[in-house]
Amino acid sequence: MRKKLLVCVLLSLLLLSFAACSQSSQQAPAQTGDAVGEQPAETVNPAIDGYPKKNIELICPSAAGTGFDALSRKLAEVLPKYLPDEVTIFVSNLNSGGGSEGWTKAYGADADGYTLLLYGIPDSLIAQELYERPYDIKEMTPLAGLTYEPTTCLAYIDSDVNTLDELMEKAKTKPVVYGTSGAGGSTHLEALVTTTVLDIPARFVHFSAVPEIITSFERGETEFLSISLPTSLMWISEEKAKPLVVFAKERQKELPDVPTIYEVEGVTQEQADKLSDIQQYRRAVWAPPGMDPELQALLTDAIQKSVTDPDFAAWSEEVGRPITFVPGTEFGTFVESMYDNHSAMMDVYRDAIVN
């Protein structure tokens, strides 16, 4: 009897042990890897991990005191607010060689977000082709387009020409005279585009700066000037020049009464399309070639927030340079298009500068 009772007790203990093991097996979490229940750690992109960790250089391939310099310094002031960590952004004016010094340094720098560049096109694209620069802007990483500045054609305030139609008519009797701020510079190239596409006989008188062109108006040495819209507004407001046309698809709010190239009698649709595509100036921010897409997106987003910042917006309105933001990848597509458009004019530019 005692032996039988002992067997029953042992059997009961054995059954309880099996039940406990079964329950433990059901409740235990699945083992994945080294530890029970541990999830794989997310991979952190080293390009943005802890960025920025040090100060950032913003290269401006233009002299101190220029419009590019002012825009660079304002962006350098506001942009740190919208980066993951606030660091100092300092502006380097590397403008020797017509800006080649700045482009060359940015092109050869590491694409780690600590070297950026702010400058404009298309003159930079044209210069690298005409003078075989040691960099390729098309390979740079575009971060943001900042401005859209269509070209305007101005005439001396006392000129007998009041419209582009009249300028074209005047050119039938003798070449019209354009002032430029230097052979191969933006005002020269813009005038070349206009006169070439519209087949306007013209000659060019070169000066060292736009104010000298305005003075030449008064001396009767030149009569016309092609220049970006924001710059033209100063001379128009001072009644030293008058606008004949804006090379844009739509009328500009700053000059609501001035016709676009599409509204000029005698200009074909094809000519108007070519002029509106080529005759525009864009200021933009780039990084060196090969930047990580996530870092590019981070910087593009920070720049967009900076230029819509109330302080930045008030400044741009005060200086008369409105911001038209274009995201980096979209701006890169525009750069390619701008390059293709100007490539067709390259022989004209080259011949005009050489001769």
Fold of 56-148+281-352: D-Maltodextrin-Binding Protein; domain 2 (3.40.190)
Amino acid (one-letter) located at 73: R
Structure confidence at residue 263 (pLDDT): 96
pLDDT (average), residues 223-247: 93
pLDDT in tens, 71-97: 999 999 999 999 999 899 999 999 888
Q: What is the pLDDT of residue 341?
A: 82
CB burial of 18-48 (b: ≥16 within 10 Å; e: otherwise) equals eeeeeeeeeeeeeeeeeeeeeeeeeeeeebb
| Least confident stretch, 18-32, 57-71, 282-296, 298-312 | 18-32
Q: Which pLDDT band holds residue 354 (cuts at 50, 70, 90)?
A: low
Average pLDDT on 173-197 reads 90
* 189 contacts 124 by C-beta, under 8 angstroms: no
> What is the rounded radius of gyration, in angstroms, for the C-alpha atoms of the chain?
32
- Amino acid identity of 191? A
On the question of pLDDT at 192 being above 80, the answer is yes
Which residues are CB-contacts of 10 (< 8 A; sequence separation ≥ 6)? none
* pTM reported for the whole predicted model: 0.78
**What is the rounded CA–CA span in Å between residue 129 and residue 284?**
19
Of the candidate ranges 39-43, 88-92, 236-240, 277-281, the one whose mean pLDDT is the lowest: 39-43
Q: What is the pLDDT of the chain when averaged over all its residues?
A: 87
Closest CA to 68 of 181, 132, 138, 146: 146
Q: How far apart (Å, rounded) are the C-alpha atoms in residues 99 and 114?
A: 20
Residue 15: per-residue pLDDT: 44
How many residues make up the chain in this entry?
355
Q: Which of 35-44, 266-275, 300-309 has the lowest mean pLDDT?
A: 35-44
Task: Please answer whether residues 299 and 112 qualify as being in contact, where contact means their C-beta atoms are separated by less than 8 angstroms.
Answer: no
Please give the pLDDT value at position 24: 47
pLDDT digits (tens, 9 = 90+) for 134-167: 899 999 999 999 999 999 999 999 999 999 999 9
Q: pLDDT over 70 for what percent of the chain?
A: 88
- Residues 88-109, mean pLDDT to the nearest whole number: 93
Buried-state track 64-76, b at ≥16 Cβ within 10 A, e below 16 = eeebbbbbbbbbb
Q: Using pLDDT thresholds of 50, 70 and 90, give the confidence band for residue 125.
A: confident
* pLDDT score for 39: 61
Q: How far is it, in rounded angstroms, from Cα 45 to Cα 60?
A: 29
Which residues, at least 6 apart from 313, have a Cβ–Cβ distance to it below 8 Å? 307, 323
Distance CA 51, CA 296 (A): 12
Residue spans per domain, the chain: 56-148+281-352, 150-279
**pLDDT level of residue 331 (50, 70, 90 thresholds):** very high
Does 56-148+281-352 match 150-279 in CATH topology?
A: yes
CATH architecture for the domain at 150-279: 3-Layer(aba) Sandwich (3.40)
